[in-house]
Amino acid sequence: MSYAFDGEPALGHLPGRRLVLVHAHPDDETLTTGITMAQAVAEGVEVTLVTCTLGEQGEVIPRELKHLEGRDDAALAHHRAAELAAAMRAIGVRDHRVLGGGRWRDSGMEWLEPGIAGGLDAAHAQAAHPAAFARADLDEAAGLLADVLRDVRPQVVVTYDPQGGYGHPDHVMAHRVTMRAVELAERDAARPGWMVPAVHWVQVAQSWADAERRAVLAAAADGRLPEGMTASGASDPFPPAVVPDDLLDVVVEAPQHLDAVVAALRSHVTQVRVEPPWFALSNDVARRLTGREGFRRVRGPRAATRGRVADDLFAGLDIGAPRD
CATH number of 160's domain: 3.40.50.10320
**What pLDDT was estimated at residue 151?**
93
**What pLDDT was estimated at residue 302?**
87
Q: What is this structure's pTM?
A: 0.90
**What pLDDT was estimated at residue 22?**
98
pLDDT > 90: what percent of the chain? Answer: 75
Find out whether 159 and 178 touch, Cβ atoms under 8 Å: yes
Question: Do the domain assignments include residue 200?
Answer: yes
**What pLDDT was estimated at residue 303?**
84
Average pLDDT on 86-114 reads 89
- pLDDT tens readout for residues 146-164: 999 999 999 999 999 999 9
| Coil vs helix vs strand at 313 | coil
Question: Do the domain assignments include residue 88?
Answer: yes
Question: Do the domain assignments include residue 84?
Answer: yes
Res. 210: pLDDT tops 70: yes
Res. 67: pLDDT tops 80: yes
Question: Do the domain assignments include residue 10?
Answer: no
What is the domain count for the chain? 1
Res. 266: pLDDT tops 50: yes
Question: Do the domain assignments include residue 324?
Answer: no
**What pLDDT was estimated at residue 69?**
85
Question: Do the domain assignments include residue 12?
Answer: no
Res. 72: pLDDT tops 80: no
Strands (E), the chain: 18-23, 46-51, 95-98, 110-113, 116-118, 156-159, 198-205, 242-243, 250-253, 273-275, 278-280, 286-288, 292-299
Question: Do the domain assignments include residue 4?
Answer: no
Average pLDDT on 20-40 reads 98
Judged on CB neighbours under 10 Å (0-12, 13-18, 19+), 217 is middle
Question: Do the domain assignments include residue 304?
Answer: no
Average pLDDT on 173-197 reads 89
**What pLDDT was estimated at residue 15?**
62
Angle between helices 138-152 and 169-185 (to 10 degrees): 60
- pLDDT tens readout for residues 279-301: 999 889 999 999 999 999 999 99
Of 122 and 211, the one with more pLDDT? 211
Domain that holds residue 237: 18-299
